[in-house]
Amino acid sequence: MKADIIIPKVENVHVVAIQEWSDDFQENCWYAYLLNATNETLEMAMVVSRAYGLIDGEQRNTMSLRHAFAKVEPQTAVRIEFLENNLLQLNNEFMLSYFIGNKMFDKKFIFKTNSINEKGQSDLPVISKRGVIAI
């Protein structure tokens, strides 16, 4: 029965970190975005995020945050959340689920410890910005 379940592969959909100016903090801050580089609309997209890892030899975990997007249009990006500087030294995990038509897609994206930084940036697909792509 388990062999009958087909889980399609997520392609051209990414979670990225982009550094942008924040008027609230008066500095450049990191934000996580859901980037849809497909030609299809993502429907009922749900993102669950959390951070975990060691700080000074002590295990740290954040609470899970949930974000929902009714639609993410093709060739666009939507902001998921602000990434606090203290969390960048942890693994930042984003669990994404969405539908295209009647098919459900699911993937875990991770920014490894300290991978969100200016040196880790590259040109992002679809949008004309630089950022860090989660693996």
Q: Which pLDDT tens digit goes with each residue over 80-122?
A: 999 999 999 999 999 999 999 999 999 999 999 999 999 999 9
Give me the domain span that covers residue 18: 13-133
Question: Has residue 33 been placed in a domain?
Answer: yes
Q: Is residue 67, in this structure, part of any structural domain at all?
A: yes
SS (H, E, C) the chain: CHHHCCCCCCCCEEEEEEEEEECCCCEEEEEEEEEECCCCCEEEEEEEEEEEEEECCEEEECCCEEEEEEEECCCEEEEEEEECHHHHHCEEEEEEEEEECCEEEEEEEEECCCCCCHHHCEECCCCCCEEEECC
The CATH number of whichever domain residue 51 belongs to comes to: 2.60.40
pTM for the whole thing?
0.93
Q: Give the count of domains, the chain.
A: 1
